[in-house]
DNA sequence: CACGTTAGATAACATACGTTAGGTATAGTA
DNA sequence: TACTATACCTAACGTATGTTATCTAACGTG
């Protein structure tokens, strides 16, 4: 039988993940991963057909991490949790956030799909109880847009200098409230 | 004297610009530009010290184009013009928009600087006449965040499928109004 | 304890990149 | 008309990449 395995799939993915965390997925090269592991490229090709397969595994790893960041938000409001998780992702892993959320790829589910998941959540929110379904969806879209914009600024260090982590979260929540309030008052104006 | 010049600086920058438009700045290589021009790499090195210098010239070209997009918006409201120009940039040159607005670089001026430019504009807006300076700045930040998020979705094709160009502009303006209305009503609540 | 399977190392091939040395030909000038 | 300056081409060097062929050695099985 063969000698004992020293570099298994997970070890390799972890090393590649660390590299991607610093330089994005494009920084993952067989030699860079091998160097980080202190080995040659051989173990990589023993565990993956091509480097693209390794990168795909790293993407899965990132998705899992993203899910953990969301699960770590245990507040009562799902929207608040989503927003805070997004900000945490952007702050803690800016390069990965850019790759996942700010580039055209299939990692991000289409808006309609996310909307479909959130529709029942919104319907059960007492604050939105008397909203029409259309209005709820539109509010959700607006909140998602704002959340993406703020997360992008966090990931790129483009926030105003005085704005720390908490201030960013506050801005997100505050604006969410204001958009909702604005939608209500505007609708009132039209009646 | 030398033979007549066939490939001058502008011609080369224009070819590199077209390449960047399709694949981003990283797609600019001496050979790719040469191929597009139907020449060798020699003219490039006659006009530029290094490929980085060429890329810098392309960045300037993109900045100029970005300015033209803003100038093309001739409506009465400066914020509306900025927002529409940003959406146009994201829609017409998604790869370039990502490079300029969604990556960490020095192309984007710090928020404070943009804020300083816009402060007098906001002060002269009759709708904001009785707002405090702090509130105006905060509104501007929120609008910029929303604008960035929406432009990012446009550039990446992450918009809901039903949302066309006009619908995106409408969403931007509508949300701007709602945030302003929400800020007013929220402040009222506090009093 | 010998053997065969296979983890890992090494080094090579092919490609793409930036850059440069050396050659060719053009066009104004002497 | 000969000369020179130079726009352009060709081909190469060095480096980084993905990938693979070949080798070495470890280890459970017989």
Helices marked H in A25-132 — which ranges? Answer: 30-37, 42-47, 51-71, 78-92, 94-101, 111-123
For residue A181, the chain B residues in CB contact (below 8 A) are: 178, 181-182, 185-186
DSSP-derived letter for residue B3 is P
Q: If you measure CA to CA, which chain B residue comes closest to A26?
A: B26
Any strand D atom closer than 7 Å to A124 CB: no
What pLDDT is attached to residue B191? Answer: 47
Q: pLDDT tens digit string along B147-174? A: 999 999 999 999 999 999 999 999 999 9
DSSP one-letter code for B49: S
> Which positions in strand C are less than 7 Å from the protein's CB atoms?
4-11, 16-22, 25-29
Q: Which of A105, A113, A137, A175 to mutate to test the interface with B (most CBs of B within 10 A)?
A: A175
Q: Which nucleotides of D are covered by protein (CB under 7 A)?
A: 4-11, 16-22, 25-29
Residue for token digits 């998604």?
A: B94
What's the gap in Å between the CA of B155 and the closest CA on chain A?
8
pLDDT at B128 over 70: yes
Mean pLDDT, each 10-residue run in order, chain A (191 residues):
89 98 98 98 98 98 98 96 98 98 91 95 92 96 98 97 97 97 80 47
pLDDT tens-digit readout, B137-147: 999 999 999 99
In chain A, what are the domains?
1-71 (1.10.10.60), 76-191 (no CATH)
Q: For B80-94, what is each residue's pLDDT tens digit? A: 999 999 999 999 999
Instruction: Provide the CA A38 distance to its chain's centre, in angstroms.
Output: 31
Q: What is the mean pLDDT of residues B112-128?
A: 93
| pLDDT number for residue B189 | 60
A61: buried, middle or exposed (CB in 10 Å: 19+, 13-18, 0-12)?
middle
Asked if strand D contacts A110 at the CB level, meaning under 7 A, the answer is: no
A58 and A20 in contact (C-beta within 8 Å)? yes
């Amino acid at each position: 039988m063969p000698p004992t395995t020293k570099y298994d799939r997970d070890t390799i993915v972890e090393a590649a993940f660390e590299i991607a965390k610093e330089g994005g997925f494009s920084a993952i090269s067989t030699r860079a991963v091998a160097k980080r592991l202190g080995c040659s490229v051989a173990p990589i090709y023993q565990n993956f057909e091509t480097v693209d397969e390794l990168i795909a595994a790293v993407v899965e790893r990132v998705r899992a991490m993203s899910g953990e960041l969301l699960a770590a938000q245990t507040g009562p409001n799902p929207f608040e949790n989503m927003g805070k998780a997004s900000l945490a992702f952007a702050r803690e892993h800016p390069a990965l956030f850019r790759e996942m959320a700010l580039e055209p790829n299939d990692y991000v589910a289409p808006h309609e799909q996310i909307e479909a998941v959130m529709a029942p959540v919104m319907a059960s929110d007492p604050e939105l109880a008397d909203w029409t379904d259309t209005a709820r969806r539109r509010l959700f879209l607006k909140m998602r847009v704002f959340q993406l914009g703020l997360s992008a600024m966090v990931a790129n260090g483009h926030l105003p200098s005085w704005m720390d982590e908490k201030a960013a979260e506050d801005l997100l929540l505050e604006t969410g409230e204001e958009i909702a309030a604005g939608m209500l008052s505007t609708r009132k104006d039209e009646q």
